[in-house]
Structure 1
Amino acid sequence: MILGGIDGCKYGWVVITKSQSIFQYFFIKKIEELTELFKNQKARFFIDIPIGLSSREFTRTVDTRLRSELGPRSSTVFNAPCRPAVYESDRQKAKKLNIQIEGKNLSEQTLNIKDRIQEVDKYIFKNNAAI
């Protein structure tokens, strides 16, 4: 079994894996390359990007729960955008959508990774990936 972690970087994504005590790293431009890179191999990945986004029909609760468990380090968890805001190309409209659905504005940090969040959201739905 391959275990790995994924994080966004300037190039695209950095993927770090461990299998049988051997660590490796890869750079991929698009998250979709993950499927081909680990084709026919059992693998589990942790990705540092919000998944399971809120919508009008679904409320994401993991951020609130995580903040309560982290105590003094709770500020390290930022608000994930709702799905409609992630798919809105206009930043101001995205902020308004998020306020309507989540009751919260979007930070510049969130707006700066919005495209990465959308990329992973599309990947999950396209591949029926388990969350």
Structure 2
Amino acid sequence: MSVIKQEIIELKAGEILVKEDQPSSALYIIKEGQLEAYKEKDGKRIPLGLINSGEYVGEMSLLRNTSYTNSVVALTPVKAIRLQKTAIEKQLEQAPKWLVALTRGLVARLDLANDILKRNGIEDEKMSSAIKAIEEKNPIEE
């Protein structure tokens, strides 16, 4: 397998990494900083979770070949590695078919579990409180 070109990007607090419904173009590996995943509904921001160093952004959309399913904003200064979707797709073409199928199957199951949680109105109050506390310390300008 060939080496994937990596690009280091930096965001300031308040800058958007990805926007909901935009076509998936890259996978991001967070090296430093903290971000928030959120959805917008009726003009309100609904926090979905925190993303920290060592975590990924865009993996679900990339593996499902869909648009980004939520927006992600930097809560603190962030350094991340951007891997272009086309380069990752080339790597996937070289991977064993069963491994790609397994990975996509796991993503589909996770997606289904997320949908069930949303439909039943289940949310993590502790997570929402933590996100709100961080936002109060680092207001995000839109």
The verdict on a shared fold, with TM-score over 0.5 as the criterion, is no
TM-score by length of 2: 0.22
Greater RCO between the two (CA within 8 Å, min separation 6)? Answer: 2
TM-score by length of 1: 0.23
- Please identify which structure carries the higher helix content: 1
- Please identify which structure carries the higher strand content: 2
